[in-house]
Amino acid sequence: MECAARRFGTRCVGPPTRRCGQCGAVAYCSVSHQTSHWSYHKEECERLEEQMRRVDLLNDFPFTFAEEATIQIGQKQLSRCSFLSKRELHLLGMWMYECKCGASAYDDCFKNDGWNLPSSSCPCRGSLSPLTSELCSWTDYYGWRKIPLDSPVALLLHWPLTIYHAIQTIGMGNLTPQISNELRIHYLGPQRELGQLGVFAELQSLFPGLRIRVEMVGPDVPQHMDGEMISLCGYAPCTEEECECNYSSKTLRPGNESAVSLQLHRGFYHDRYSDIAKDSPPPHIVIAPNAGIAAYPSWLPTIELIKEIKVPAVFSDYCEEACNLAACCIKSITGQPLSSPIRLNPFRQPMAVEESPLFIPCYSNCFIFAI
């Protein structure tokens, strides 16, 4: 937690111990900082007060570890490191990127050490039964995949499940009439997920019968991986040597013959789109996880491009207020309101962000909206 006025003038004089008496969502290091920040904060105070009333809804997850991952981590009674260590997952494989002491660079995107969990606790193989109805919650997903609610795999699976939910949100759930056999997704601003590419193999269970082509575009893509095509030829494996997932070929490999293929592009979407469009038809959907539209001016030309190519785009962010600010930016650029309003994502990551700027809990992919 930091002083809400930290970037608005004089240096802070101590820790932020003075919470706003109205919303309770922000805190200040001193009376003077609280007073000087009011001209800005008064615009957001009522919205934040309303959001604070819905904190229990944000923390509502069905998992046996929910209190640890939400309240205890949010209140710094527990850290992500200790949570993962307790489950013998700390600094292992795809879990390495879920805490501060893990790797921050994603130089080896082919590396995939699997789930580091037994087969009963992870989706290391295809689904046992087809989807007969839309998945609307983590309870639905875990029940369909027959995974126990003490399994932490949702901490990584929120990436492909958010893609699934985004497609449902814009009304593309019944894909067959609209798409022949290939679903094309442009995925903007990948960061942590670049070290967790194996989890995107779950898209083949969520969209059976379709080839899925994902163009991942962002400045965090390593230079030497620019243009690389990665095929997900199986599911991320479990720890059991006798499980069939360990007899399949490498989960990640160069090439393009698989149900799910990912191509990496370094740079901003508005700079790289013309190169991507030369080699493939337009996308069916653009998805930007944890976008931070109001925080980065580079979004302005990207949103103008999305408006120009007339492709539905779904964005997510860590908290509702970030989405509200993004909606204002988008309206100023496009002159139009959101096509799908800001909504809580049922497939948000069920672990609180440790360094939140607000007292409202923040989660990766917490809220979504569309243009």
- Provide the pLDDT for residue 10: 77
Q: For 187, phi and psi rounded to 5 degrees?
A: -115, 115
- Is the predicted pLDDT of residue 177 greater than 70, yes or no? no
- At 47, list the tokens: 């919205």
Is the pLDDT higher at 177 or at 337? 337
Give the pLDDT band of residue 5 (cuts 50, 70, 90): confident
The mean pLDDT of the chain is 90
- Is the predicted pLDDT of residue 224 greater than 70, yes or no? yes
- Is the predicted pLDDT of residue 101 greater than 90, yes or no? no
Of 69-83, 202-216, 255-269, the poorest mean pLDDT is in: 255-269
Please provide the DSSP assignment of 291-317 as one string: --GGG-TTHHHHHHHHHHHT--EEEEE
List 315's β-bridge partners, or say none.
Answer: 288, 369
Please provide the DSSP assignment of 14-66 as one string: S---EE-TTT-S-EESSHHHHHHHHHHHTTTHHHHHHHHTTHHHHT---STTH
What share of the chain has pLDDT > 70, as a percent? Answer: 92
- Is the predicted pLDDT of residue 81 greater than 80, yes or no? yes
Give the pLDDT band of residue 4 (cuts 50, 70, 90): confident
**Do 29 and 3 meet the contact criterion of CB atoms below 8 Å apart?**
yes
Q: Would residue 283 be called left, alpha or beta, if left means φ above 0 and alpha means ψ between -120 and 50 degrees?
A: beta
Give the pLDDT band of residue 234 (cuts 50, 70, 90): confident
- Provide the pLDDT for residue 279: 86
Of 111-115, 220-224, 290-294, 348-352, the poorest mean pLDDT is in: 111-115
Distance between terminal CA atoms of the chain?
31
Please provide the DSSP assignment of 98-138 as one string: GSTTS------TT-----SS-GGGS--S--SS---S---SH
Give the pLDDT band of residue 312 (cuts 50, 70, 90): very high
Give the pLDDT band of residue 357 (cuts 50, 70, 90): confident
Whose structure tokens read 């607000």?
Answer: 358
- Is the predicted pLDDT of residue 51 greater than 80, yes or no? yes
**Do 99 and 90 meet the contact criterion of CB atoms below 8 Å apart?**
yes
